[in-house]
Amino acid sequence: MKHLPRTAAIIAGMAIMAALAANAYQASLIPSSDLINPDELVKILQSTKATKPLILQVGPHILYLQAHIPGAEYIGSASDPQGVQRLRTRVQSLSRGEFIVIYCGCCPWNHCPNVKPAHDALREMGFTKVKALYIAENFGANWVVQGYPTAKGE
């Protein structure tokens, strides 16, 4: 019986660590100052004066094939270490002040496993102008259905 408090503390600690690990990929942890809404991005893309960002899709390939933002480059799922590596390789030679937008849209925002690792990687590399496209539900509902510019295929 005397071990119960210690056991309970260990279990509680493990639960907290598990919760932290589960939250580690959650896009909701990205600071709001590093987010951009779909309508804001569309305005930038349609503007003749605004600096165009490098747009990187860090989600599943099959989603990219079906629909993606015109000009967006496919990187792949950043929940996969290989995806993060492809992201690092792609941006390695760029100026750290480059305007980069990352997006996924596979899942509701809080469940997206890809945006947060991609954001973290770019920040770690020193990029200062990184925005994550805030997609509340999924790319279909929050981009395609809204009538925003869309491309298909590779």
Partner 1 sequence: MCLIAGATVFFRHHRSVTPSTTGARSYAPDFSLPQLSGQQLALSSFRGKVVLLDFWATWCEPCREEIPHFVDLQNLYRNQGLQIIGVSMDDGPEPVRDFYQQFKMNYPVVMCTGKVAESYGGVLGLPVAFLIGREGRIYFKHIGATELSVLEQEITTLVHGNDGQANAH
Instruction: Note the residues at the interface with partner 1 (CB under 8 A).
Output: 60-63, 65-67, 76-77, 79-80, 105-108, 111, 113-114, 137-141, 144
Whichever of 119 and 127 has its CB closer to partner 1, that residue is 119
Shortest Å, Cβ 137 to partner 1? 6
Whichever of 78 and 127 has its CB closer to partner 1, that residue is 78
φ, ψ for residue 94 (rounded to 5)? -80, 155
Shortest Å, Cβ 107 to partner 1? 5
Whichever of 45 and 140 has its CB closer to partner 1, that residue is 140
| DSSP of 97-131 | T-EEEEE--SS-GGG-SSHHHHHHHHHHTT-SEEE
Whichever of 53 and 117 has its CB closer to partner 1, that residue is 117
Report the side by side order of strands in the sheet with 54-57. 35-36, 129-133, 99-103, 54-57, 73-74
Shortest Å, Cβ 110 to partner 1? 9
User: In DSSP terms, which residues pair with 54 in a beta bridge?
Assistant: 100
Shortest Å, Cβ 144 to partner 1? 6
Q: How many CA atoms lie within 13 A of 91 on its CB side?
A: 34
Whichever of 105 and 127 has its CB closer to partner 1, that residue is 105
Shortest Å, Cβ 95 to partner 1? 30
Closest of 95, 153, 103, 104 to residue 129, by C-alpha = 95
Distance CA(1)–CA(12), nearest Å, equals: 17
